[in-house]
Structure 1
Amino acid sequence: MIASPQVSVIVPAYNVRSYIEQVLVSVRSQSLQGFEVIVVDDGSTDGTAEVVKPFCDRDSRFVLLQKPNGGLSSARNYGIRHARAPYIALLDGDDVYKPEKLATHVDVLDRTPDVGVVYSASRAIREDGRPTFLSLSGKPVMSDPLLALLCKNFIGHGSNGVFRRCLVDEVGEFDEGLRSSEDIDFWLRIAATGRWRFQRVPQVLCCYRVRRAGLSFNVAQMQRSHEQVLEAAARRSPEVVAPVLPTAYAYMYRYLARLSLTSGDAEQARNFMDRAWSADRSIFYRDPRSLLTLVSVSLAPLSKQVIGRSLDSVEYTQK
């Protein structure tokens, strides 16, 4: 076990036996070697732990914790409670880091004490690990991180953020009552403090996997969770959040339209786009991705086919 790790990598793992080895190899291959990896086996039934144990046996920087299934936030929180480093890196049990991921982000946090969260651009990979053309730049739609996060999760997915451990003490853990959007809620609470900057690294430093088991989303459930997150943000900072809520809801409906489209429900997608238009139609001429979603929903059969081909018939959705 490393005496004083620079960063603790938290890996929640639930039934990811087919992917977890590649995930852990990507951490072991980091140019920065002063890490600890805490894998939280969240009640897996597929033998995930059996793949993790050899890493722990060969390298004391790898630690396996096991607990009954409690969901993603529960596993993340459990791992963070056992973390020893001043910085926390999140890595889902089916995603991978590029070799410079940790070194680049730790360097930013070391040099800039007012940065609380650092993240990078990222790329989607297929179920078998092959890259796709789909990427996330991480560029916020507004300069204020609180307002930007209300509209779009510019960090992008759960394997991208590296943050200071002290932020958990300041704003609290991941909300285990949320079934989705728990990462957005966490970032929003950090942004609401007004004391911490979010720093984007433009290089692609991590890859997030799109797989069939990960696409069985419940759009109605996601809508409820996201609405809860927006309502909580409005309660924390009413004067700041209230003016931008129509725009935030427009972006939410736009995102739900994209999810509906990828699940094959074109009618539901059109309904969400109508609601986005009613909430704040300006997003469609201010944000090219919103306009692209509008066009994609209008051309639903063709756009679904193009997206499917890029992922070997596995429809894409942002995690």
Structure 2
Amino acid sequence: MNVASGDERDTTERVLTLLGLLQQRQVWTGPELADRLGVTTRTVRRDVERLRTLGYPVHAAYGVGGGYRLGPGQQLPPLLLDDQEAIATAVSLLAGAGGAVAGAGDAALRALTKLDQVLPTRLRHEVRALSGSVESFDGGRVPVDPTVLMTLARACRDEVETAFGYPSGNDVRPRRAEPYRLVASDRRWYLFAYDLDRADWRSFRVDRMTDVSARTWRFRPRPSPDAAAYVQEGVASRVYPHRARFLVHASADTVRAQIPAAAAVVRHRGDEQCEVLSGAARLDAVLLHVLLLGHDFEVLDPPELGARCRALAQRLSAAGASFEPPPDGDGRPAGPEEVRGTGNE
């Protein structure tokens, strides 16, 4: 085993200190850095070259106002954070993972998983305490324990089995699963996993899971469905007692812009058509949602919904037949232009 010498350790510590200084201020002169590090300006130049070989774009400018500056690079190199910066970053990522920023939940959780891997133990309790005071003002996302999210995220990354309790009827039963992805909807977090006890793919609501733990058994990933599409379809349809399919005469992009992802699955069926799969507690509610989109549509399934459409159409027609616009002076029903106003006469 190779053990670093004292000189090598001193050099590594000095280079990391140099990196920290460059991240604190926009420009440092050579003599300023040398004074902070207790070395010569020649050693500063050598340490700057070491940082450049590690991927940090350190720029040097000479003359009045010149100095060393850490600039943006083509790739993101590792950042050096002190304790307070690490705590603030972790708490901010927890807020992002909780849904405070639209579309940022998954990315925030991935970044938080990386930070958690290197976060010193002495900081974990402070991060946990501070995260308890972070809330989202929109109030839409069902709260989950960030520790549970972290456990599941690490299990997905490390490809190890998870164990947890999950409601089944009136009981909470133990489950074993191979975790693949965490999926965030507009309201909840879901775990997409292969259920080992049922030998099939399942999605689990994270807020319903209890006693979550990562096991030591590793698994080899199986060919799997698309995690987001699988969870979306389950949220939009299988959780409701009634499901319906419609052929909508509008593009899938147009309809997706009108329907929240958690409310329906929209499938492409051509440039001017799409299939909408949705669910609700009552079939009339599903029908009303599609009707309010403002596009022509056809009922594909279930058959009884087609009969319901005809019955509602008769009721609406009867309700409209009893209404007649007031006649104008010559006894004719007034046209739209005549009803709007007479202007100055």
> TM-score, normalised on structure 1?
0.24
TM-score, normalisation: structure 2: 0.23
Please identify which structure carries the higher helix content. Answer: 1
Structure exhibiting the larger radius of gyration computed from Cα positions: 2
